Amino acid sequence: MSDKRTEISDLGEFGLIEHLTKPFTLHHSSSLLGVGDDAAVIDIGGDDALVVSTDLLTEGIHFNLMYMPLKHLGYKSVAVNVSDICAMNATPTQITVSISVSNRFPLEALEELYEGIRLACDQYKVDLVGGDTSSSYSGLSISITAIGTVKKDKITYRSGAKEYDLLVVTGDLGAAYMGLQVLEREKEVFRANPNVQPELDGHDYIIERQLKPEARKDIIGFLAELDVLPTSMIDISDGLASEVLHLCKSSNVGCHVYDEKLPVDAKTAMTAIDFNLDPNTCALNGGEDYELLFTIKQEDFDKIKGNPHMTVIGHITNAQDGIYYIDKNGSAITLRAQGWKHFEGE
C-alpha cells in the first residue's frame, strides 16, 4: 500500500465499487454479467439464467432501531434484495442470510428479526437456503444474497435503453423519504422529552413505505401478461434522479424527465409541504422507494396506457442531448443526483 491517501467519500458508493472491481476479469463463460447492474447473471445451461444480488444493511447507517422494529427490519432486508432480482426482470427463488450481532441482543430479539425474514419469504415465495452468523463489537449488520431465475431472452439490463424509448416508473415516489423525515422528527422529540408520545397519526402510509417497503415482484407478472419486455430496468433505491443517471450512463443515452409527470401520493405531498419541502424534489432525490424504473419501446405504450401501476415520466434521447429535468415552466434543468451518498459525513 502506498503512502497516498484518498478519501473513500471522494468516490462515493458506486465510484468505489467501480474502482475496486475494475481490474477483475471474468474467467468463466458462464458469467454472463459481473459487476455493474442490479444483479449478476450466470448461465446455467438451457434457456434459463441465474441472477444473484447481495445487499448489506448496517445499524446506524441503513436503519435506526429507535424506530425500526426488528420484525420490520427482517422483512425489509429481504424486500430490498428481492427488488434487485425483479429489476433484472427475473423471479426471485432463494435467499441466504448472514448476520453480525453484538451481545446486547438477546435470543428473543433475533427471533423477531427472523420472523420478519420468514414473513417476507412467504410473501415473495423465496426459500431461505443458508447463511452465517458472527459476533460483533458494535450493533447489528445483515447481509442477504438473493437468487432468481429468468429466461435468457427476457433478461433486462440497465444498458438496453434506446433513443425515443419511453421512461416508465411504477407506483409513487417520495413516500419512504417523507416517512423517514417523520420518524426522525419524532426521534428528536423523544430525545428531548421521553414523556412525549410520538405524533404519527395520519402518516401510516409513508411510515410503512419506509419501515416495510414492498419489492415490485407483481410488476414482473404484469409486464409478462401485457407482453411488454422493457429495454432497460433498475430499481429505485437511491432516488429517481440517481437511477435515471445510472440507466443513461449504462445505455449511453440522454433523457428528459418531466416534473408534471412524477407520481406523488397526496399524503407524501402534504407531509413534504409541512416540512417546507417540494414534493417533487423528494420524489427525485428521496430514495428507498424500491419501485421499478424502466424503459419501453414507443410501440408498447398502448399496452401500458391507463395501467394504474405504471406512469410514463419521460423519454430517452441521444447522449449528446444530455440528461434534463423539465420543470413546470418548460425549462430544462440538468438532472443531478442529490440522494443518499454513502461514506459522506462519517
The β-bridge relationship of strands 166-170 and 292-296 is antiparallel
- Averaged pLDDT score across all residues of the chain: 91
pLDDT of residue 346: 40
The whole-number average pLDDT for the span 283-305 is 96
pLDDT of residue 345: 45
Residue 8 has pLDDT above 90, yes or no: no
Residue 339 has pLDDT above 60, yes or no: no
Topology annotation, domain 8-153: 60s Ribosomal Protein L30; Chain: A; (3.30.1330)
The whole-number average pLDDT for the span 156-178 is 97
Residue 17 has pLDDT above 80, yes or no: no
Look up residue 189 and give its DSSP letter.
Answer: H
Closest CA to 17 of 59, 56, 64, 63: 56
- List, for residues 45-90, the tens digit of each pLDDT value: 899 999 999 999 999 889 999 999 999 999 999 999 999 999 999 9
pLDDT of residue 7: 74
Name the strands in the sheet holding 310-318, side by side, starting at the edge strand that comes first in the sequence. 232-235, 292-296, 166-170, 310-318, 253-258, 323-326, 332-334
User: Per DSSP, which regions of 102-171 are E strands?
Assistant: 127-135, 140-151, 166-170
- List, for residues 35-49, the tens digit of each pLDDT value: 666 789 999 889 999
Residue 189 in grid coordinates = 422529540
Residue 174: band (very low, low, confident or very high) from pLDDT cuts 50, 70, 90: very high
Between CA 273 and CA 20, with CA 345 as vertex, the angle to 5 degrees is 115
- The residues pairing with 51 across neighbouring beta strands, listed in sequence order, are 41, 148
Exposure on the CB side of residue 167, measured as CA atoms within 13 A: 30
> What totals of helices (H) and strands (E) does the chain contain, helices first?
10, 13
Domains 8-153 and 158-334 in one fold:
no
CATH, domain 158-334, list 3.40.50.300, 3.90.650.10, 3.40.50.1970, 2.60.40.1730: 3.90.650.10
Residue 29: band (very low, low, confident or very high) from pLDDT cuts 50, 70, 90: confident
Identify the burial level of 312 via C-beta atoms within 10 angstroms of its C-beta, where 0-12 means exposed, 13-18 middle and 19 or more buried: middle
Phi and psi torsions of 63, nearest 5°: -155, 155
- List, for residues 250-286, the tens digit of each pLDDT value: 999 999 999 999 999 999 999 999 999 999 999 999 9
Determine what percent of the chain falls in helix, strand and coil, rounding each to the nearest 5. 40, 25, 35
pLDDT of residue 199: 80
The whole-number average pLDDT for the span 214-238 is 97
pLDDT of residue 129: 97
pLDDT of residue 4: 75
The span from the CA of 31 to the CA of 43, in Å, is 6
Amino acid, single-letter form, for residue 15: G
- List, for residues 231-256, the tens digit of each pLDDT value: 999 999 999 999 999 999 999 999 99
pLDDT of residue 221: 96
In the chain, % of residues over pLDDT 70: 88
Closest CA to 50 of 59, 58, 39, 42: 42
Residue 24 has pLDDT above 80, yes or no: no
**pTM given for the model:** 0.90
- Domain spans of the chain, in order of start: 8-153, 158-334
Residue 22 has pLDDT above 90, yes or no: no
